[in-house]
Amino acid sequence: MGEEARVPIIVLEKVCKFFGQFQALKDIDLVVNKGERVVVCGPSGSGKSTMIRCINRLEEHNNGRIVVNGHELTGNLRDVNAVRREVGMVFQSFNLFPHLRVVDNLMLAQKLVRNRGKAEARERAMHLLERVKIPEQAGKWPSQLSGGQQQRVAIARALCMDPAIMLFDEPTSALDPEMISEVLDVMIDLAQEGMTMVVVTHEMGFARSVADAVVFMDAGEIVESNPPAEFFQNPRNERTRLFLSQILSH
Amino acid sequence: MSVIYGWLDEYFWGATVVLKVFGVSLVMAVLFGLIGSAAKLSGNRIAGILAGGYTVVFRGTPELLVILIIYFGSAITLTTVSQAFDPDIQFIDIPPFWAGALAIALVVGAYMTETFRGAFLGVDYGQIEAARALGISNFKTFIYVRMPQMWRLALPNFGNHMLSLMKDTALISVIGLEEIVFVAEIATTVTVKPFTMYAVVAVIYLAITTVLTLAVAGMEKYANRHLETSR
Amino acid sequence: MTFDVFLILNSIPTMIEGLGITLKLLFLSTVIGLALAVVTLLMRLSGHWLLTWPAMFYIYIFRGTPILVQIFIIYHGLPQFEFIREGVLWPLLREPFGCCVVALSLNAGAYVSEILRGGVLGVDRGLHEAGKALGLSTPHRFIYITTPIAVRLAIPAYSNDFISMLKATALASTVTLMDMTGVARTIVAKTFAPYEIFIAAAIVYLCFTWTFQRGFGLLERYMSRYVKKDA
Ligand SMILES: Nc1ncnc2c1ncn2[C@@H]1O[C@H](COP(=O)(O)OP(=O)(O)O)[C@@H](O)[C@H]1O
Ligand SMILES: [Mg+2]
């Protein structure tokens, strides 16, 4: 990507987040440019989820500034849903709507938020199910699908809204090992098409192959942020080194 | 308001009757519940069918009807039987206190049967095997492993059944038990202030059920103390 | 003493006459009760104390006192006040039927709103977040995600409450209404055959309990069609 194309699409400046007395995020600074893929890693409880949940305002930050695709996320944000429909999110636990069939999971928000007609929404839904390679599951209930299939439906559901940014919070952590790659393959495809992505994951192979930057968090802080080659070969910080040795040892 | 003062004594005695009938029928209901659940879990077909019939009948029949059947039924039976010995006898009945207590205990006991059964099955079988593997006798396993956990699992429903039982005591006034609804009825005929008199009854029940609710909440907290997270 | 089976069979047709009032009471008070429950639930969920507190107070009062006392306060008690006797609701509150509908509806509203709240609280938080992340507004999330799932979760408890309502309609007989229990009581007063008549009434109630339970069972099965069977 050329230098002139570097347009910041997510900006976090000195972001702080408290849960009561407990500070989950401490002065987080992060810039993600359009089309970039950022992988976030770090030990459990370090604030990774909290950080990406602040980006689509599932959590409200207490201090600092967040700008997402031109929307300033402030305390008196007028239309939080305007931000959310431009940001797709994929959760660790899939969170498919259990009472809706797969295709209806994909159509619901299109109809209600994007005001698409039934036919148009269905067409878009089927198109995305094909992209994640499970069009034949359209008529099933989510509970009838394997974990890997459910997560691919969840990705398709987010993509139906034509988001400018996709957030992933440990999308493969709840999956059996043999299902991880089918989900990662979909994510790699998405990356190659130029989607802006922020991915919390411990899949270091994925980070190596598609990330523009790897961010390491610990105790609510960003400890280190570098391109993958640099990050893995030459970790600067002691905490990063310790974490990498633990995670790469298995 | 001052009309109430003349009746405070009666309400007080009525309230003690409510508490007594509650205590007696609670003991009976727990007994019926334990017997019923044991029968259902026994694996014995006849016991299972009897217990099943018991729960279906007493959960599906209005409490008032059960009270009427037990009270008037037993009165007719007793009268006929005793007239066979002494034709001069006009009418013999079981005191409304006992007939009423038995009737509401039968109903609530049917609900408790299900609760106790569920609690029994709710204790993880792996723990019983673990206790066996440690060489603990069946009886001690029951006392030290099963009972403490059953109690915890049964408590929320048990608390609700206790509240139902308390409120069911009001129905016994229909067969002439001299508790607080009965007092209000009498007081109304004298004072012609029905709202005031029944409102006192409501307040008394509300006070008792509030105390019961708090007590159950306290017990639940105690029973679940080992589950509290440390965060 | 004899137990006359023919008396049971003969009295069932008469009992069925009272059934009309029983079912009318049940139908009206469940429908009105459900409406009250939804309003109360929305007030409780609003998060604003001006709405939450009255809702909680209402629930507290009606769950903490016996239905019989509620019926008596409304039927015997309210006419104590001049403004009730002159008010617009007097045609309704003058009749025992109207009083019973009012009392049973208010009672059902309090219980059912708690049942529905249990359903709403049982909806997985992750589903709310998924809805938010897709940009669904709060009303849209409530209508399309929370409601269908909460209704499914609430059905078993609601089914129990519905049966309780059926049984509670028997209390109408204490304020002179000729519902099924009322009819049974008048027949017993004439025939002195409490076992036969009351048991006949109980059988009719049991048939209805069984039917309603089956109905709710089928409804629950339909509503749970998307839930994994073996889980
Ligand atoms: N809703 C919450 N209330 C209180 N503490 C929270 C809440 N959410 C997260 N935390 C705390 O914030 C810290 C960071 O959590 P999280 O962002 O989920 O970590 P990660 O995703 O890196 O494992 C943890 O210590 C967690 O306990
Ligand atoms: Mg996390």
CATH 3.30.300.30 assigned to B2-228: no
Question: What does pLDDT average to over chain B?
Answer: 90
- Give per-residue pLDDT as tens, C20-73: 999 999 999 999 999 999 999 999 999 899 999 999 999 999 999 999 999 999
Q: What is the mean pLDDT of residues A83-91?
A: 92
Q: Are B195 and C73 in contact (CB under 8 A)?
A: yes
The CA angle C4-C5-C7, to the nearest 5 degrees, is: 70
Q: What is the mean pLDDT of residues C211-216?
A: 94
Question: Chain C residues with CB inside 8 Å of A93's CB?
Answer: 126
Question: Chain A residues with CB inside 8 Å of C131's CB?
Answer: 97, 109
Predicted pLDDT of residue A22: 95
Predicted pLDDT of residue B68: 95
Q: What is the mean pLDDT of residues A174-181?
A: 92
Q: Cβ C170–B64 below 8 Å, yes or no?
A: yes
Q: Which of A13-17, B7-11, B25-29 has the lowest mean pLDDT?
A: B7-11
Number of structural domains found in chain C = 1
Predicted pLDDT of residue A63: 92
Predicted pLDDT of residue C196: 86
Predicted pLDDT of residue B231: 44
CATH number reported for the structural domain that contains residue C192 in this entry: 1.10.3720.10
Burial class (CB in 10 A: 0-12, 13-18, 19+), B36: buried
Q: Is C174 on the interface with B (CB under 8 A)?
A: yes
Predicted pLDDT of residue A6: 83
The CA angle A163-A166-A171, to the nearest 5 degrees, is: 140
Burial class (CB in 10 A: 0-12, 13-18, 19+), C5: exposed
Q: How far apart are CA A226 and CA A234, in angstroms?
A: 10
* Residue ranges of C 22-81 with Cβ closer than 8 A to chain B: 60-61, 63-70, 72-73, 76-81
- pTM comes to 0.89
pLDDT above 60: residue A4:
no
Q: What subunits touch chain A, counting only 3 or more CB pairs under 8 A?
A: C
- Does residue C229 sit within a domain? no
- pLDDT tier, C231 (very low <50, low <70, confident <90, very high otherwise): very low
Question: Chain B residues with CB inside 8 Å of C78's CB?
Answer: 195
Q: Cβ C145–A87 below 8 Å, yes or no?
A: no
Q: Are B17 and B96 in contact (CB under 8 A)?
A: no
- Does residue C231 sit within a domain? no
Domain spans in chain B, listed from the N-terminal domain onward: 2-228
Q: Which of B76-90, B107-121, C97-111, C128-142 has the lowest mean pLDDT?
A: B76-90
Q: How far is CA A148 from CA A173, A181, A182, B135, C149, in A?
A: 11, 9, 7, 44, 24
Q: How far is CA C192 from CA B75, B81, C4, in A?
A: 11, 15, 12
Q: Is A78 on the interface with C (CB under 8 A)?
A: no
Buried b (16+ CB within 10 A) or exposed e, A29-40: ebbbbbbbbbbb
CA of A171 to the centre of ligand 2 (A): 10
Range(s) of the domain holding residue C34 = 5-223
> Is A250 or A11 the better-scoring residue by pLDDT?
A11
Q: How far is CA B207 from CA A159, A185, B7, B201, C72, in A?
A: 57, 64, 18, 10, 19
Element of type H or E holding A208: helix A204-210
CA of B25 to the centre of ligand 1 (A): 50
Q: Are C21 and C178 in contact (CB under 8 A)?
A: yes
Pocket around ligand 1: residues whose beta carbon is below 6 Å from it? A 19, 22, 24, 42, 44-50
- Give per-residue pLDDT as tens, A192-226: 999 999 999 999 999 999 999 999 999 999 999 99
- Does residue C67 sit within a domain? yes
Q: Cβ C202–B57 below 8 Å, yes or no?
A: yes
Question: What does pLDDT average to over chain C?
Answer: 92
